[in-house]
A and B are shown apart, each in its own frame.
Chain A
């Protein structure tokens, strides 16, 4: 056992770790393993048939496509918001900074109905878009709006601390050597921010893929058109198709785990990058 744990005079290790492992096993690990074990009751061919029907494939395309687009928009605007909050002063900045976390704190169902009310044909925003031929609510565009809302804080909150830590000397040196602001940004600042930006992008993307509450109100939920994969899992469950729902959730879980691995690698890269500079 002495190779497992370094010696310490502090008490409570066995109790604390034992409780942690027991709790994690009961609440997280055993229930999660249920999804994999129940799926193993299907043969590989059956599993593959369930997770590749045209309706399911359409839901993957929609979920991943729209999540990617929303995360991309969040990467751009998240960087902009982080930049403005760190570098500039303007009235109400404190309040704006605090409100960036609203999507974390606001229940998703509330966000869902609020966005639907805004973007439907007679809503504050929808009534101006409808005459232009742009329908947002009850289309994939509505899903994009909801996922952009949900993912908004991730990029801001991963980029912000890195931007705060960039040393002024680097930029001063660049300016002394004749770089203009744009060159300094693209050659000095952006490369330093890039790992954090990618981490934020990946976090927003991962969150968007699993999102349910805010999307179902605004999506319209038409099979093949605006039906996201999490909704399809619920639909299968409501039809007592447990095998189908479980198989789909295993696909979602595997994708989540891969994304989690990528995010961990990105964070490691980000930390190493900031340790170097």
Chain B
């Protein structure tokens, strides 16, 4: 359906669809949206790298090769290397139970899995202090056996696992629900064992969703600040993760070094977004291919 608009001055004729906005409205809206995004997204992102390199490459390299910074990087990688696989196994188990079977209380279970998303990071750290801290439930027993969880690496791992529990599960549940159970049922009828069915039928079907969830889970695990800050004890070179190291440097007015370490985390965020977009793009193509067939 087209309306013909004649502009009286120029005498030119444009054809505009009745379900489209005039060009000036379109471009004003695009301009306004981009202004907002520039102000709140692009400028802060660019400023991280600008501040990091402001004092030159030498200062930058010195900041990220400082022994405390290296220790923080190692700890962050270690924590993520424990937290992501744990939540991966949990996500697959939870999605298998929820997506492949019908049972009562399923919606409640899904809500419980999502719970950590709605808890303030600070509270997420505090609850572990209440369980494992010196004043906590297990505190006296742990102290007796000389086991340190709070203000030590295990506490950081636990708090990180807590805040990242939902990531992989919530990616897999809708995916596996959409895929249904026919393929697995066929495999079982043909004599495959449970594990064979999982490894050869289910896993190939969910691998991209699994990767997608793991990437998001990893970004959060490496970047978590509030929960980790409560349980870490901020011991330099020992219980400082990268985000906590950034905070310490910043509070010491060592801005160049703080932004240098922050730029590594910003880079991680950008890599995460690129991988995420690539997987989404791949899935979309895959869907269209399947849709055409």
Chain A interface (Cβ within 8 Å of chain B)?
3-6, 8-13, 15-17, 19-20, 23-24, 27-32, 34-35, 38, 77, 80-81, 83-85, 88, 90, 94, 96, 98-111, 113-115, 117-118, 123-125, 145, 148-149, 152, 168, 171-172, 175-176, 181, 184, 206, 209-213, 217, 230-231, 233-234, 237, 242, 245-246, 249, 252-253, 256-257, 259-260, 263-264
Q: Is the interface of B mostly helix, strand, loop or mixed?
A: helix
6 tightest A-B CB contacts, nearest first: A107-B223, A210-B120, A213-B225, A11-B194, A212-B226, A175-B18
Q: Is the CB of B161 within 8 A of A107?
A: no
Q: Which of B57-65, B205-213, B255-263 contacts A (4 or more CB under 8 A)?
A: B255-263
Q: Is the CB of B122 within 8 A of A110?
A: no
Q: Is the interface of A mostly helix, strand, loop or mixed?
A: helix
A106→B270 CA distance, assembly (Å): 8
Chain B interface (Cβ within 8 Å of chain A)?
1, 18-21, 25-26, 29-30, 32-34, 36-37, 39-45, 47-48, 51, 89-90, 93-94, 96-97, 100-104, 109, 111-116, 118-123, 126-131, 133, 135-137, 158, 161-162, 165, 181, 184-185, 188-189, 193-194, 197-198, 216, 219, 222-226, 229-230, 242-244, 246-247, 250, 255, 258-259, 262, 265-266, 268-270, 272-274, 276-277
Q: Is the CB of A88 within 8 A of B97?
A: no
| A84-B29, A88-B30 known; A34+B1 contact, CB < 8 A | no
Min C-beta distance of A187 to chain B, whole Å: 14
Q: Given A10, A16, A27, A175, which contacts B161 in the complex, CB threshold below 8 Å?
A: A27
Min C-beta distance of A147 to chain B, whole Å: 11
Kindly list chain A residues whose C-beta atoms are within 8 Å of the C-beta of B41.
99-100, 102-103, 149, 152
**8 further contact pairs, Cβ within 8 A, besides A12-B198, A101-B276, A249-B127:** A8-B101, A16-B93, A35-B123, A84-B33, A96-B37, A102-B45, A107-B222, A175-B19
| A12-B96, A252-B120 known; A5+B223 contact, CB < 8 A | no
Kindly list chain A residues whose C-beta atoms are within 8 Å of the C-beta of B34.
84, 90, 96
Q: Is the CB of B51 within 8 A of A31?
A: no
Kindly list chain B residues whose C-beta atoms are within 8 Å of the C-beta of A98.
273-274, 276-277
Kindly list chain A residues whose C-beta atoms are within 8 Å of the C-beta of B118.
206, 210, 256-257, 259-260, 263
Q: Is the CB of B97 within 8 A of A13?
A: yes
Q: Is the CB of B93 within 8 A of A19?
A: yes
- Shortest Cβ distance from B92 into A: residue: A16
19 A-B pairs in the complex with CB atoms less than 8 angstroms apart: A8-B100, A10-B188, A11-B197, A24-B113, A24-B165, A28-B115, A28-B162, A35-B123, A35-B126, A84-B34, A102-B273, A109-B225, A109-B265, A117-B47, A210-B118, A210-B120, A230-B120, A242-B129, A242-B135
Q: Given A4, A11, A94, A242, which contacts B130 in the complex, CB threshold below 8 Å?
A: A242
| A10-B101, A101-B273, A206-B118 known; A32+B127 contact, CB < 8 A | yes
Kindly list chain A residues whose C-beta atoms are within 8 Å of the C-beta of B162.
27-28, 31
| A10-B101, A96-B34, A260-B115 known; A110+B266 contact, CB < 8 A | yes
Q: Given A94, A110, A237, which contacts B223 in the complex, CB threshold below 8 Å?
A: A110
Q: Is the CB of B165 within 8 A of A113?
A: no
A152→B135 CA distance, assembly (Å): 39
Kindly list chain A residues whose C-beta atoms are within 8 Å of the C-beta of B1.
172, 175-176
A242→B134 CA distance, assembly (Å): 11
Q: Is the CB of A27 within 8 A of B165?
A: yes
Min C-beta distance of A133 to chain B, whole Å: 19
| A96-B37, A107-B265, A175-B1 known; A168+B19 contact, CB < 8 A | yes
Min C-beta distance of B282 to chain A, whole Å: 14
Q: Given A16, A84, A90, A230, which contacts B226 in the complex, CB threshold below 8 Å?
A: A230
Min C-beta distance of A115 to chain B, whole Å: 6
Min C-beta distance of A21 to chain B, whole Å: 8
Q: Is the CB of B112 within 8 A of A237?
A: no
Q: Is the CB of A209 within 8 A of B115?
A: no
- Shortest Cβ distance from B113 into A: residue: A24
Q: Is the CB of A80 within 8 A of B120?
A: no
Q: Is the CB of B246 within 8 A of A110?
A: yes
A209→B133 CA distance, assembly (Å): 26
Q: Is the CB of A212 within 8 A of B96?
A: no
Q: Is the CB of A209 within 8 A of B33?
A: no
Kindly list chain A residues whose C-beta atoms are within 8 Å of the C-beta of B189.
9
Min C-beta distance of A220 to chain B, whole Å: 13
- Shortest Cβ distance from A101 into B: residue: B273
Q: Is the CB of B216 within 8 A of A104?
A: yes
Q: Given B96, B222, B255, which contacts A16 in the complex, CB threshold below 8 Å?
A: B96
